[in-house]
Amino acid sequence: MKKLSIIAVLVLAIVAWSCSDVRREPGRAYMPDMAYSVAIESYTPLDTFKALGINYNAKPVPGTIKRGELFPFAITKDKQGETVNYEASKAVANPITALTPDQHKEAERLYLVNCGICHGAKLDGQGVLHKRTDGTDGPYIAAPANLISNATYTGMPAGQMMYSVTYGKNMMGSYASQLSTTQRWMVISYIKGKQAEANGGAAAEAKPAADAAKPAAGAVAAKPATDSTAKK
């Protein structure tokens, strides 16, 4: 009985002590980043992370590829004044050999959203930025490329189109941040299909996807993708 009384007193003392409003130091945490995680809101400036001693740059780990995404375009951008990789990109085949009905519908939508404003819904270079629907001139005086009748573009290999869409060419900027690798190849396949229809022929067959992922001879290998366009 005496022992039970002592135990009861000790328990009451511990409870009373733990309920005290005195602030105590819990000691050192083995993994403080996990024990005391910092709540970060979306679009928090990266400087905030640095101030907290957190190494974070909002980019995917090098080599990361989003699930269901194709391998990154394996040709790097040419240095200023060079065209070596641009020419080498001709040898890169489109890994998407044919569009399913659903892919064709999505590729058409992506084309109209991202490309049609300049190149036109009919791929004739008469987009609303050049020629408005009422026939008046748009803000772009020079006509964008006619992808249907201009031999330069009807005969352009898919890989070279991919280079232009990925890095930009002439007045057209890069669309790598707007379209993922898969989406860019889908849009190019859509364009090639329309070109074939307009010229009464069949779209050129693409090489197997495994070959398309390899860099062309003489091209500089790309670094692991960190965007998608992440990530993209």
- Report the pLDDT value the prediction gives residue 218, as an integer from 0 to 100: 47
Residue 206 has pLDDT above 60, yes or no: no
Proportion of the chain above pLDDT 90, given as a percent: 44
How far apart CA 29 and CA 150 sit, in angstroms, is 67
How far apart CA 196 and CA 202 sit, in angstroms, is 5
Task: Express each pLDDT in 120-147 by its tens digit.
Answer: 999 999 898 888 878 788 887 888 999 9
Domains and CATH numbers, the chain: 84-212 (1.10.760.10)
Residue 203 has pLDDT above 50, yes or no: no
| Region of residue 66 (phi > 0: left; psi between -120 and 50: alpha; otherwise: beta) | beta
Tokens of 217: 């001879």
**Which residues touch 217 (CB under 8 Å, ≥6 apart)?**
88, 91
Residue 219 has pLDDT above 70, yes or no: no
pLDDT band of residue 201 (cuts 50, 70, 90) is low
* Closest to 211 measured CA to CA, from 83, 71, 8: 71
In whole angstroms, what separates CA 164 from the centre of its chain? 15
Proportion of the chain above pLDDT 70, given as a percent: 77
| pTM, full prediction | 0.64
Ranges of H-type helices in the chain: 2-18, 32-35, 46-51, 84-88, 101-114, 116-119, 151-154, 158-167, 181-198, 209-212
